[in-house]
Amino acid sequence: MGIKLFVFNPLAGYLWKIPAPLGCHTSESGRVMHELGVIRIASWLVVLLVATALSGCGTITPLTASSRSETGAGGVQPAFAQFTDIPVPANAKMDLERSLVLGEREGWTGRIVMSVNENAGRIYDFYFAEMPRFKWEPVTAVRAETSVLTYIQSDRVATIQIHTRTIGGATILMTVSPRGKPAPAPSTMSGEVQISPLK
């Protein structure tokens, strides 16, 4: 007579019946002890899985800027390797469908769309601290549901919009464009102005 073992399935909330190996005959007390051992092992596995899943929740790692000069050729993700004049959060992923870049190195213009698994507040703090390190001067900074940071650097303007994603993390839209030239002051005419009535 084969012995049936019961294993607790924590996801389904019931016991599975597992037949004992052929030719295995044990007493009733041995069967009960074996069943309890299997249940105890299954319980420990559940606890281990939950502990492993939750261990990443309390870990806070600082965001680090990436650039070719600081991290070396192997440290920058290939999608961001050409952008040496802006900070890129660690593990950022570029959305190639929504990004459009013209030019290269420090002369590029266009829009880069990135997604990160950090919350929008940390991304805001990251760009607020890192952009000046890349020689960008702050112009405006608005922290809100959609945060906006604007910087200038010689003849270019960078606008960064940070949105919270519904599924967690944030989306970053960085637009870099040529800086507009100020309008010239109206010229003054030399000489006299003649006014004549209409006839």
Q: Which of 23-37, 94-108, 116-130, 180-194 has the lowest mean pLDDT?
A: 23-37
Examine the domain organization and report whether 27 and 110 are in the same domain. Answer: no
Examine the domain organization and report whether 73 and 48 are in the same domain. Answer: no
> What is the number of other CB atoms lying within 10 angstroms of the CB of residue 92?
22
Q: Domain of 98: which CATH number?
A: 3.30.310
**In a domain? residue 190:** no
Q: How far apart are CA 161 and CA 146, in angstroms?
A: 7
**In a domain? residue 137:** yes
Q: How far apart are CA 91 and CA 66, in angstroms?
A: 10
Examine the domain organization and report whether 170 and 107 are in the same domain. Answer: yes
| pLDDT tens-digit readout, 40-93 | 776 767 766 666 655 555 444 455 555 444 443 444 455 666 677 889 998 899
Examine the domain organization and report whether 43 and 124 are in the same domain. Answer: no
> What is the number of other CB atoms lying within 10 angstroms of the CB of residue 147?
21
Domain count, the chain: 2
Q: How far apart are CA 193 and CA 90, in angstroms?
A: 65
| pLDDT tens-digit readout, 122-162 | 999 999 999 999 999 999 999 999 999 999 998 899 999 99
Examine the domain organization and report whether 48 and 27 are in the same domain. Answer: yes
The overall average pLDDT reported for the chain is: 74
End-to-end CA gap in the chain: 125
Q: What are the φ and ψ backbone dihedral angles of 138, each rounded to 5 degrees?
A: -70, 140
Pairing of strands 93-94, 156-164: unpaired
Examine the domain organization and report whether 81 and 163 are in the same domain. Answer: yes
